[in-house]
Amino acid sequence: MGEQIHEKIVNQIDVHLINLNTNTMTNQKRDLGFMQLWNLSFGFFGVQIAYALQSANISRIFATLGADPHSLSYFWILPPLMGIVVQPIIGVASDRTWCRLGRRLPYLLLGALIAVIVMCLLPNAGSFGLAVSGAMIFGFVALMFLDTSINMAMQPFKMLVGDMVNEKQKGLAYSIQSFLCNAGSLVGYLAPIILTAIGISNIAPQGVVPDSVTYSFYIGAAVLILCVIYSFVTIKEMPPAEYARFHGIDACKTEKHEKFNLMKLLKEAPSTFWSVGLVQFFCWSAFLFMWTYTNGAIAGSVWGTQDVASAGYQEAGNWVGTLFAVQAIGSVLWAIAIPRFKSLKTVYIVSLLLGAVGFISTIFFADKYLLFISYFLIGCAWAAMLALPFTILTNSLKGENMGAYLGLFNGTICLPQIVAAALGGVLLSLLGGNQSYMLVAAGVLLICGAVAVGFIKLTYAEKES
């Protein structure tokens, strides 16, 4: 009897020492050097070039193929629809992946390879001698695969920061990611303009995408592959035991593949998941309208044309890239400023209100250069949207299901885009078919998002555990 009591006491002491050691390591998480933080997100530069080329040129491509302006928003349903399906799957699968290539990196590689292939096909939708309907179908299927693969390549970078960066540095890490994201956007947005400037044709026969756009996709594909190679060389993911110690969780949980229960995870999600999700709904609806209607809006207000075959419309398409590049510059500069704010909620609100002013001001500017002011301010909102939601959310999460929750959280990005895309044509009709008014509607949505930030309660799960 005495031996049994002694054995129980010894076991309890051992458990206490193990927990004490784990908590000590959790509370003393090492800081990463700047280059380590940089390398964790550098591949996002290449992924974002692909995403920027898609964002800036999809409406232009499908309008060139023959789509009606009132139907353009429907083509934008597919990208977020694929995201809402793919990203939770990638999150759950990568949470349970521990192999020689890493945990998140294998999915990055697969997504990038598919994206490269599709980027070489999509802009050629009108060049294969297909009828208008056939070219539309080809482009639609190619867009589906492109967005699926971009989502596969994008999500691992968000998860890597959540996996490997402590709470103190997460704001900086996601700001670096935002910086690289917008730097990649800058390249993607400017590529057709630069190629046009050096003599690549920016016009093409009816129904054919200009070479300036097509070659931009080729270049983007090449940069994406190089960035993925760099990521594999410079990123070393944690093995299960180290990951468990870093996050202060049971090592067995990191290796045991429990049955995934979507509803259970959502039920147990921290309140920040839902409150930040509400902000996301307004913000991403706004930017869906921007991506869909900027081309038509400035073609009408600045160039005075809606004829997609005209040189003016295609010149407006290039200018969209310029404006989005200005937005990216604004985002880069604002991303540097964000960590200097002491309050995450304050900088979130200020950023969204600046973006709202940018959107609403577009209706007052008929000069293409004055629109630089508008899109620079819009860039401030974009920088906040890329950095702050993930900083706030990952601080509220423990490490067991980090990837799954980030995958599910992507629904707060995708769902509003699906809703906005589905209702875009109806709203455009209600606004008299004037695409400039859709940008004003985007500004109103950002104001709603700024108000919703007030409902967020900041929490730090691992400090409370």
- CATH label of the domain that carries residue 156: 1.20.1250.20
Compute the distance between CA of residue 73 and CA of residue 423 in angstroms, rounded to an integer. Answer: 8
- Has residue 60 been placed in a domain? yes
Contact partners, residue 39, CB within 8 Å, separation at least 6: 230, 231, 234, 235
- Has residue 442 been placed in a domain? yes
State the pLDDT at residue 113.
92
Per-position b or e across 325-345, b if 16+ CB within 10 A of its CB: bbbbbbbbebbeebbeeeebb
The total of other beta-carbon atoms located within 10 Å of residue 385's CB is 25
Compute the distance between CA of residue 189 and CA of residue 194 in angstroms, rounded to an integer. Answer: 10
Q: Give the DSSP H/E element, type plus range, for residue 217.
A: helix 211-234
Question: Is the CB of residue 37 less than 8 Å from the CB of residue 140?
Answer: no
Q: Residue 19, class by beta-carbon neighbours within 10 Å (0-12 exposed, 13-18 middle, 19+ buried)?
A: exposed
Question: Is the CB of residue 300 less than 8 Å from the CB of residue 432?
Answer: no
- Has residue 250 been placed in a domain? no
Q: Give 102's strand partners.
A: 99
Q: What is the DSSP letter of 99?
A: B
- Has residue 251 been placed in a domain? no
- Has residue 27 been placed in a domain? no
Instruction: With a cut of 70, list the residues of the chain below it in pLDDT.
Output: 1-29, 69-70, 72, 250-262, 308-309, 399-400, 461-465
The angle at the Cα of 56, spanning 48 to 107, to the nearest 5 degrees, equals 30
**Domain containing 284: what range?**
34-234+262-464
- Has residue 48 been placed in a domain? yes
- Has residue 249 been placed in a domain? no
Helices 271-301 and 435-453: crossing angle, nearest 10°?
A: 160
The total of other beta-carbon atoms located within 10 Å of residue 34's CB is 11
Question: Is the CB of residue 285 less than 8 Å from the CB of residue 445?
Answer: yes
- Has residue 25 been placed in a domain? no
Question: Is the CB of residue 215 less than 8 Å from the CB of residue 195?
Answer: yes
What are 398's two structure tokens?
């423990």
Structural domain count of the chain: 1
Q: What type of residue is 325?
A: A
Compute the distance between CA of residue 115 and CA of residue 109 in angstroms, rounded to an integer. Answer: 10
Q: Residue 46, class by beta-carbon neighbours within 10 Å (0-12 exposed, 13-18 middle, 19+ buried)?
A: buried
**DSSP line for 288-343:** HHHHHHHHHHHHHHTS----TTSHHHHHHHHHHHHHHHHHHHHHHHHHHHGGG-S-
Q: Give 99's strand partners.
A: 102
The pLDDT tens digits of the residues spanning 287-332 come to 999 988 998 889 888 888 777 667 788 788 778 888 988 998 898 8
What are 42's two structure tokens?
């550098």
The total of other beta-carbon atoms located within 10 Å of residue 448's CB is 17
Compute the distance between CA of residue 331 and CA of residue 329 in angstroms, rounded to an integer. Answer: 5
State the pLDDT at residue 74.
76
State the pLDDT at residue 2.
47
Rounded-to-5 percentages of helix, strand, coil across the chain: 80, 0, 20
